[in-house]
Protein backbone atom coordinates (compact mmCIF):
# COMPACT_ATOMS: atom_id res chain seq x y z
CA UNK A 1 0.00 0.00 0.00
CA UNK A 2 1.53 3.32 -1.10
CA UNK A 3 1.35 6.46 0.99
CA UNK A 4 1.27 10.01 -0.27
CA UNK A 5 4.48 11.80 0.85
CA UNK A 6 3.99 14.26 3.67
CA UNK A 7 4.17 17.86 2.49
CA UNK A 8 7.26 19.71 3.66
CA UNK A 9 5.17 22.80 4.38
CA UNK A 10 1.46 23.21 5.03
CA UNK A 11 0.05 26.70 5.62
CA UNK A 12 -3.62 27.14 6.47
CA UNK A 13 -5.56 30.42 6.76
CA UNK A 14 -2.47 32.38 7.82
CA UNK A 15 -3.32 35.98 8.69
CA UNK A 16 -0.85 38.64 9.82
CA UNK A 17 -1.69 42.08 11.15
CA UNK A 18 0.44 45.16 11.79
CA UNK A 19 -0.45 47.60 14.51
CA UNK A 20 0.42 51.28 14.88
CA UNK A 21 -1.08 51.61 18.36
CA UNK A 22 -3.81 49.99 20.45
CA UNK A 23 -6.54 51.54 18.27
CA UNK A 24 -5.02 51.14 14.80
CA UNK A 25 -4.31 47.74 13.30
CA UNK A 26 -4.47 46.51 9.70
CA UNK A 27 -4.18 43.21 7.82
CA UNK A 28 -1.15 42.53 5.60
CA UNK A 29 -1.70 38.79 5.00
CA UNK A 30 -5.28 37.59 4.65
CA UNK A 31 -5.99 33.86 5.13
CA UNK A 32 -3.08 32.46 3.13
CA UNK A 33 -3.22 28.70 2.45
CA UNK A 34 -0.82 26.55 0.42
CA UNK A 35 1.39 23.43 0.51
CA UNK A 36 4.90 22.66 -0.71
CA UNK A 37 5.74 19.06 -1.61
CA UNK A 38 9.16 17.41 -1.16
CA UNK A 39 11.56 18.58 -3.86
CA UNK A 40 9.13 21.16 -5.23
CA UNK A 41 10.10 24.72 -6.21
CA UNK A 42 7.12 26.98 -5.57
CA UNK A 43 7.37 30.47 -7.02
CA UNK A 44 5.69 33.41 -5.27
CA UNK A 45 5.04 36.25 -7.70
CA UNK A 46 3.80 39.77 -7.03
CA UNK A 47 4.59 43.48 -7.05
CA UNK A 48 6.59 45.15 -4.29
CA UNK A 49 4.37 45.67 -1.26
CA UNK A 50 2.08 42.72 -1.99
CA UNK A 51 3.13 40.89 1.20
CA UNK A 52 5.72 38.45 -0.15
CA UNK A 53 8.50 39.24 2.33
CA UNK A 54 6.01 39.37 5.21
CA UNK A 55 4.96 35.84 4.30
CA UNK A 56 8.60 34.68 4.24
CA UNK A 57 9.27 36.17 7.67
CA UNK A 58 6.01 34.71 9.02
CA UNK A 59 7.06 31.20 8.04
CA UNK A 60 10.23 31.58 10.12
CA UNK A 61 8.45 33.54 12.87
CA UNK A 62 10.78 36.47 12.35
CA UNK A 63 8.14 39.18 12.07
CA UNK A 64 9.02 42.66 13.40
CA UNK A 65 7.63 43.68 16.80
CA UNK A 66 4.81 45.68 15.21
CA UNK A 67 3.41 42.58 13.50
CA UNK A 68 1.59 39.55 14.83
CA UNK A 69 0.10 36.32 13.48
CA UNK A 70 -3.63 36.83 13.88
CA UNK A 71 -4.71 33.32 12.89
CA UNK A 72 -3.99 30.14 11.01
CA UNK A 73 -1.29 27.48 11.18
CA UNK A 74 2.20 26.79 9.79
CA UNK A 75 3.38 23.19 9.76
CA UNK A 76 6.82 21.99 8.68
CA UNK A 77 6.86 18.21 8.27
CA UNK A 78 3.72 18.11 10.40
CA UNK A 79 5.19 20.22 13.22
CA UNK A 80 3.22 23.35 14.16
CA UNK A 81 5.72 26.22 14.21
CA UNK A 82 3.26 28.58 15.90
CA UNK A 83 3.21 26.30 18.94
CA UNK A 84 6.99 26.29 19.44
CA UNK A 85 8.95 28.32 21.97
CA UNK A 86 11.70 30.65 20.80
CA UNK A 87 14.30 28.16 21.97
CA UNK A 88 12.66 25.39 19.94
CA UNK A 89 12.44 27.71 16.93
CA UNK A 90 16.19 28.35 17.01
CA UNK A 91 16.65 24.60 16.55
CA UNK A 92 14.33 24.63 13.53
CA UNK A 93 15.67 27.74 11.75
CA UNK A 94 18.63 26.78 9.63
CA UNK A 95 18.22 23.05 10.29
CA UNK A 96 14.73 22.34 8.91
CA UNK A 97 13.79 25.64 7.26
CA UNK A 98 16.19 28.38 6.20
CA UNK A 99 16.16 31.75 4.48
CA UNK A 100 18.23 33.20 1.63
CA UNK A 101 18.04 36.98 1.96
CA UNK A 102 17.70 39.52 -0.84
CA UNK A 103 21.35 40.52 -0.71
CA UNK A 104 24.62 39.55 0.94
CA UNK A 105 24.56 42.50 3.35
CA UNK A 106 23.54 40.00 6.05
CA UNK A 107 27.10 38.63 6.11
CA UNK A 108 29.31 39.73 8.99
CA UNK A 109 31.89 42.11 7.43
CA UNK A 110 34.62 41.32 10.01
CA UNK A 111 34.31 37.52 9.97
CA UNK A 112 35.79 35.18 7.37
CA UNK A 113 33.03 33.78 5.18
CA UNK A 114 34.04 30.15 5.73
CA UNK A 115 33.78 30.64 9.48
CA UNK A 116 30.31 32.11 9.00
CA UNK A 117 29.16 28.94 7.23
CA UNK A 118 30.84 26.78 9.90
CA UNK A 119 29.08 28.79 12.63
CA UNK A 120 25.67 27.85 11.17
CA UNK A 121 26.60 24.16 11.19
CA UNK A 122 27.92 24.17 14.75
CA UNK A 123 24.74 25.89 15.94
CA UNK A 124 22.77 22.78 14.92
CA UNK A 125 25.26 19.92 15.05
CA UNK A 126 27.31 18.64 17.99
CA UNK A 127 30.36 18.24 15.81
CA UNK A 128 34.03 18.98 16.29
CA UNK A 129 35.43 22.14 14.72
CA UNK A 130 37.25 20.06 12.13
CA UNK A 131 34.17 18.13 11.06
CA UNK A 132 32.08 21.32 10.93
CA UNK A 133 34.72 22.97 8.75
CA UNK A 134 34.73 19.98 6.40
CA UNK A 135 30.96 20.26 6.10
CA UNK A 136 31.27 24.00 5.45
CA UNK A 137 33.80 23.34 2.70
CA UNK A 138 31.37 20.82 1.18
CA UNK A 139 28.62 23.44 1.28
CA UNK A 140 30.90 25.96 -0.45
CA UNK A 141 31.81 23.38 -3.09
CA UNK A 142 28.10 22.68 -3.67
CA UNK A 143 27.51 26.35 -4.58
CA UNK A 144 30.53 26.45 -6.88
CA UNK A 145 33.08 27.95 -4.49
CA UNK A 146 35.17 24.85 -3.74
CA UNK A 147 38.65 23.81 -4.78
CA UNK A 148 40.50 26.58 -3.00
CA UNK A 149 41.02 27.65 0.59
CA UNK A 150 41.07 31.27 -0.54
CA UNK A 151 37.29 31.61 -0.49
CA UNK A 152 36.98 30.07 2.98
CA UNK A 153 39.47 32.52 4.47
CA UNK A 154 38.20 35.61 2.63
CA UNK A 155 36.21 38.45 4.15
CA UNK A 156 32.99 39.51 2.39
CA UNK A 157 34.53 42.69 0.92
CA UNK A 158 37.19 40.59 -0.83
CA UNK A 159 34.57 38.72 -2.88
CA UNK A 160 32.35 39.70 -5.79
CA UNK A 161 28.61 40.24 -5.37
CA UNK A 162 27.87 36.89 -6.99
CA UNK A 163 30.35 35.10 -4.73
CA UNK A 164 28.88 36.72 -1.63
CA UNK A 165 25.38 35.66 -2.64
CA UNK A 166 26.65 32.09 -3.09
CA UNK A 167 28.00 32.28 0.48
CA UNK A 168 24.51 33.24 1.69
CA UNK A 169 23.07 30.25 -0.19
CA UNK A 170 25.76 27.97 1.27
CA UNK A 171 24.74 29.11 4.77
CA UNK A 172 21.10 28.31 4.02
CA UNK A 173 21.91 24.85 2.66
CA UNK A 174 24.71 23.89 5.08
CA UNK A 175 22.48 21.83 7.38
CA UNK A 176 20.48 20.32 4.51
CA UNK A 177 17.09 21.78 5.52
CA UNK A 178 13.85 20.41 4.13
CA UNK A 179 12.75 23.88 2.97
CA UNK A 180 14.69 26.92 1.75
CA UNK A 181 12.92 30.27 1.40
CA UNK A 182 14.70 32.43 -1.19
CA UNK A 183 13.47 36.02 -0.92
CA UNK A 184 14.41 37.84 -4.15
CA UNK A 185 17.95 36.35 -4.00
CA UNK A 186 18.91 37.83 -7.38
CA UNK A 187 17.46 41.32 -6.87
CA UNK A 188 20.81 43.03 -6.15
CA UNK A 189 22.76 41.24 -8.90
CA UNK A 190 23.40 42.07 -12.55
CA UNK A 191 21.55 40.00 -15.16
CA UNK A 192 24.43 37.63 -15.92
CA UNK A 193 25.18 36.91 -12.27
CA UNK A 194 21.48 36.53 -11.47
CA UNK A 195 21.19 33.90 -14.21
CA UNK A 196 24.13 32.03 -12.67
CA UNK A 197 22.42 32.00 -9.26
CA UNK A 198 19.18 30.70 -10.80
CA UNK A 199 21.10 27.95 -12.61
CA UNK A 200 22.83 27.09 -9.33
CA UNK A 201 19.52 26.71 -7.49
CA UNK A 202 18.14 24.52 -10.29
CA UNK A 203 21.19 22.27 -10.04
CA UNK A 204 21.00 22.08 -6.25
CA UNK A 205 17.33 21.13 -6.48
CA UNK A 206 18.13 18.18 -8.75
CA UNK A 207 20.79 16.93 -6.33
CA UNK A 208 18.49 16.70 -3.31
CA UNK A 209 14.89 16.64 -2.15
CA UNK A 210 15.17 20.16 -0.75
CA UNK A 211 12.06 22.22 -1.40
CA UNK A 212 12.19 25.91 -2.27
CA UNK A 213 9.83 28.84 -1.89
CA UNK A 214 11.30 31.25 -4.44
CA UNK A 215 10.00 34.81 -4.10
CA UNK A 216 10.23 37.26 -6.99
CA UNK A 217 8.55 40.22 -8.65
CA UNK A 218 9.91 39.06 -12.03
CA UNK A 219 7.89 36.46 -14.00
CA UNK A 220 10.92 35.69 -16.20
CA UNK A 221 13.04 34.63 -13.22
CA UNK A 222 10.36 32.25 -11.95
CA UNK A 223 9.89 30.83 -15.45
CA UNK A 224 13.47 29.54 -15.35
CA UNK A 225 13.07 27.81 -12.01
CA UNK A 226 9.63 27.13 -10.52
CA UNK A 227 7.42 24.06 -10.88
CA UNK A 228 4.34 25.87 -9.61
CA UNK A 229 3.52 29.51 -8.97
CA UNK A 230 1.32 31.50 -6.61
CA UNK A 231 0.41 35.08 -7.46
CA UNK A 232 0.01 37.46 -4.53
CA UNK A 233 -1.81 40.77 -4.52
CA UNK A 234 -2.61 42.99 -1.53
CA UNK A 235 -1.92 40.22 0.98
CA UNK A 236 -3.96 37.50 -0.74
CA UNK A 237 -3.14 34.60 -3.04
CA UNK A 238 -5.19 35.44 -6.13
CA UNK A 239 -4.00 32.58 -8.35
CA UNK A 240 -2.18 29.26 -7.91
CA UNK A 241 -1.24 26.53 -10.34
CA UNK A 242 1.47 24.80 -12.37
CA UNK A 243 3.75 27.54 -13.71
CA UNK A 244 3.46 26.62 -17.37
CA UNK A 245 -0.34 26.56 -17.22
CA UNK A 246 -0.56 29.84 -15.32
CA UNK A 247 1.79 31.57 -17.77
CA UNK A 248 0.09 30.10 -20.85
CA UNK A 249 -3.45 30.82 -19.65
CA UNK A 250 -3.59 33.22 -16.68
CA UNK A 251 -6.99 33.28 -15.03
CA UNK A 252 -6.86 36.31 -12.75
CA UNK A 253 -6.82 39.76 -14.41
CA UNK A 254 -3.88 40.76 -12.20
CA UNK A 255 -1.82 37.76 -13.34
CA UNK A 256 -2.61 38.59 -16.97
CA UNK A 257 -1.57 42.23 -16.49
CA UNK A 258 1.59 41.27 -14.59
CA UNK A 259 2.72 38.86 -17.30
CA UNK A 260 2.00 41.45 -20.01
CA UNK A 261 4.51 43.76 -18.30
CA UNK A 262 7.21 41.08 -18.12
CA UNK A 263 10.50 41.89 -19.89
CA UNK A 264 10.36 38.84 -22.17
CA UNK A 265 6.98 39.99 -23.48
CA UNK A 266 8.34 43.47 -24.23
CA UNK A 267 11.43 42.01 -25.90
CA UNK A 268 9.21 40.08 -28.32
CA UNK A 269 7.85 43.33 -29.78
CA UNK A 270 8.69 44.48 -33.31
CA UNK A 271 10.65 47.58 -34.29
CA UNK A 272 7.45 49.47 -35.04
CA UNK A 273 6.43 48.95 -31.41
CA UNK A 274 9.56 50.66 -30.05
CA UNK A 275 8.06 54.14 -29.88
CA UNK A 276 5.01 53.05 -27.92
CA UNK A 277 4.60 53.34 -24.18
CA UNK A 278 5.77 50.38 -22.14
CA UNK A 279 2.89 48.28 -20.76
CA UNK A 280 2.00 48.90 -17.13
CA UNK A 281 -0.80 48.18 -14.71
CA UNK A 282 -2.81 51.40 -14.22
CA UNK A 283 -3.41 52.71 -10.74
CA UNK A 284 -1.77 51.45 -7.57
CA UNK A 285 -2.39 48.75 -4.96
CA UNK A 286 -4.85 49.64 -2.18
CA UNK A 287 -3.71 51.15 1.10
CA UNK A 288 -3.66 48.23 3.59
CA UNK A 289 -4.99 50.63 6.24
CA UNK A 290 -8.07 51.37 4.10
CA UNK A 291 -8.89 48.25 2.14
CA UNK A 292 -11.95 48.44 -0.13
CA UNK A 293 -15.01 46.32 0.77
CA UNK A 294 -14.82 44.40 -2.50
CA UNK A 295 -12.01 42.91 -4.58
CA UNK A 296 -8.68 44.58 -3.83
CA UNK A 297 -7.82 44.68 -7.55
CA UNK A 298 -11.14 46.12 -8.74
CA UNK A 299 -9.91 49.73 -9.17
CA UNK A 300 -7.20 48.54 -11.61
CA UNK A 301 -9.13 45.78 -13.39
CA UNK A 302 -10.37 46.05 -16.98
CA UNK A 303 -12.87 43.22 -16.30
CA UNK A 304 -14.44 44.96 -13.32
CA UNK A 305 -18.05 44.00 -12.56
CA UNK A 306 -20.62 45.38 -10.14
CA UNK A 307 -20.00 42.56 -7.64
CA UNK A 308 -16.30 43.44 -7.51
CA UNK A 309 -17.00 46.64 -5.59
CA UNK A 310 -19.40 45.01 -3.13
CA UNK A 311 -17.69 41.93 -1.73
CA UNK A 312 -14.39 40.07 -1.83
CA UNK A 313 -14.43 37.00 -4.12
CA UNK A 314 -13.82 33.62 -2.56
CA UNK A 315 -11.24 31.16 -3.88
CA UNK A 316 -12.58 28.86 -6.60
CA UNK A 317 -11.06 25.86 -8.44
CA UNK A 318 -11.64 25.88 -12.21
CA UNK A 319 -9.61 22.64 -12.37
CA UNK A 320 -7.96 20.22 -9.97
CA UNK A 321 -4.55 21.93 -10.26
CA UNK A 322 -5.68 25.56 -10.49
CA UNK A 323 -7.20 28.02 -8.04
CA UNK A 324 -8.20 31.64 -8.53
CA UNK A 325 -9.86 34.38 -6.50
CA UNK A 326 -12.10 36.12 -9.04
CA UNK A 327 -15.84 36.49 -9.73
CA UNK A 328 -15.37 35.29 -13.31
CA UNK A 329 -14.98 31.70 -12.11
CA UNK A 330 -16.77 29.21 -9.90
CA UNK A 331 -20.10 29.41 -8.14
CA UNK A 332 -19.80 33.17 -7.58
CA UNK A 333 -19.72 33.94 -11.32
CA UNK A 334 -22.13 36.72 -12.21
Domains and CATH numbers, the chain: 9-96+177-268+279-332 (3.40.50.300)
What is residue 326's predicted lDDT score, i.e. its pLDDT?
94
- pLDDT above 80 (res 128): yes
Give the pLDDT of residue 269. Answer: 43
Q: What value does the mean pLDDT of the chain take?
A: 88
pTM: 0.89
Rg, C-alpha atoms of the chain? 21
Whether residue 270 has pLDDT greater than 60 = no
278 — pLDDT class (breaks 50, 70, 90): low
124-to-88, 96, 97, 112, 209 alpha-carbon distances in Å: 12, 10, 12, 20, 20
Contact 222, 264 (CB under 8 A): no
Please report the pLDDT score of residue 6 as a whole number: 83
Instruction: Return the pLDDT at 186.
Output: 87
What's the mean pLDDT in 256-281?
63
pLDDT at 316 over 50: yes
Residue 264's pLDDT band, with cuts at 50, 70 and 90, is: low
273 has a pLDDT exceeding 90: no
Higher pLDDT, 270 or 147: 147
Interval 176-193 mean pLDDT: 90
With 0-12 / 13-18 / 19 or more C-beta atoms within 10 angstroms meaning exposed / middle / buried, residue 32 is buried
Give pLDDT tens digits for 54-105. Answer: 999 999 999 999 999 999 999 999 899 999 999 999 999 999 999 998 888 8
Q: Give me the pLDDT at residue 266, please.
A: 41
pLDDT per position as a tens digit, 186-221: 888 888 888 888 888 888 887 777 899 999 999 999
Residue 184 has pLDDT above 60, yes or no: yes
**pLDDT value of residue 271:** 40
Amino acid sequence: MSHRPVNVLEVRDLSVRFYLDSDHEFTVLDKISFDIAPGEILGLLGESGSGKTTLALSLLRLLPPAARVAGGSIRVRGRDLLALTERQLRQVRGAEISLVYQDSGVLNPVMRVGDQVTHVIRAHRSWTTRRAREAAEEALAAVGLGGSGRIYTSYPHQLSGGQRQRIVIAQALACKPALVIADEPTASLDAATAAEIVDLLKRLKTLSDTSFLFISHDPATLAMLADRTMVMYAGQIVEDGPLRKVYAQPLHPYTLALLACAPQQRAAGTLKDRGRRLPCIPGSPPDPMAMPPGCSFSNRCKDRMEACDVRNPEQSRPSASRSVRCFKYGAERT
